[in-house]
Amino acid sequence: AQKVTQAQTEISVVEKEDVTLDCVYETRDTTYYLFWYKQPPSGELVFLIRRNSFDEQNEISGRYSWNFQKSTSSFNFTITASQVVDSAVYFCALSEAGSARQLTFGSGTQLTVLP
Amino acid sequence: DADVTQTPRNRITKTGKRIMLECSQTKGHDRMYWYRQDPGLGLRLIYYSFDVKDINKGEISDGYSVSRQAQAKFSLSLESAIPNQTALYFCATSDSGQGATEAFFGQGTRLTVV
């Protein structure tokens, strides 16, 4: 069975600090997909990134970067120079290729960026 | 207009009442899902549908039923609502094509059962 663990329930940083959100996953499939979603206070889910299990290259998008390491089953998300607008709940999720493509979500990390 | 639309956005209902949450999409995706979000638990899958004739139970289907009226419409029903069904409900769609595209989510329905 697939499982996603986000051990950090809440993180609080001061604006301009860097912050890393951890995500550890479990799966028996060799082909799978990992995702990060952002949920701002307004409640909608905003897609941030998708990574497949064959692509371990790290990715950078502006102030966001992701570090995928199959050896440790981790897919961590770093925000550089955080801003108040980054305050949100962030979810890591896993989808196995052989499944119905449903997502298994972690419990989320509440990030608060203080001015 | 949003690609995935949920109605209503907010609803307060009484224990024992039947309630339906509706979802429609313009993505043209064949797969649709209903998730429930509770604080500290992330999102959990209630039901999913591959197409109009294919409905499947998810992790927490007890107390819920669904109907896929058309490829674009997927409704979630609570036959007899109870307070612990108070939650934020999300509908999502995805494409069955090769590779897992991201799921597209509706804006959520906040349901309160009193």
Q: What is the pLDDT of residues A41-60, one digit of tens each?
A: 999 999 999 888 988 888 88
Whether pLDDT at A100 is above 70: no
In tens digits, what is the pLDDT along chain B, a chain of 114 residues? 669 999 999 999 999 999 999 999 999 999 999 999 998 888 999 999 988 899 999 999 999 999 999 999 999 999 999 999 999 999 999 887 666 567 899 999 999 999
Rounded CA separation B48/B35 (Å): 9
pLDDT score recorded for residue B17: 97
pLDDT score recorded for residue B41: 83
Cβ–Cβ under 8 Å, residues A69 and A56: yes
pLDDT score recorded for residue B103: 85
Summarize pLDDT for A8-43 with one digit per residue, the tens.
999 999 999 999 999 999 999 888 999 999 999 999
pLDDT score recorded for residue A24: 98
Report the SS3 class of residue A57: coil
Instruction: Give the mean model confidence (pLDDT) for residues A63-84.
Output: 95
Task: Give the residue from A3, A102, A104, A107 with the most B CB atoms within 10 Å of its CB, the best one to mutate.
Answer: A102
Report the candidate in B41, B92, B36 with the shortest Cα–Cα distance to residue B64.
B36
Whether pLDDT at A99 is above 80: no
What sign results for the dihedral spanned by CA atoms B68, B73, B74, B76?
negative
Rounded CA separation A111/A21 (Å): 9
> Å from A18 to nearest chain B CA?
24
pLDDT score recorded for residue B95: 82
pLDDT score recorded for residue A22: 98
Rounded CA separation B80/B113 (Å): 10
pLDDT score recorded for residue B57: 94
Rounded CA separation B50/B94 (Å): 9
Cβ–Cβ under 8 Å, residues B96 and B30: yes
Rounded CA separation B58/B49 (Å): 10
Rounded CA separation B78/B20 (Å): 6
Task: Give the residue from A5, A31, A45, A89 with the most B CB atoms within 10 Å of its CB, the best one to mutate.
Answer: A45
Helices and strands per DSSP (H, E), number in chain A:
0, 12
pLDDT score recorded for residue A98: 67
pLDDT score recorded for residue A96: 83
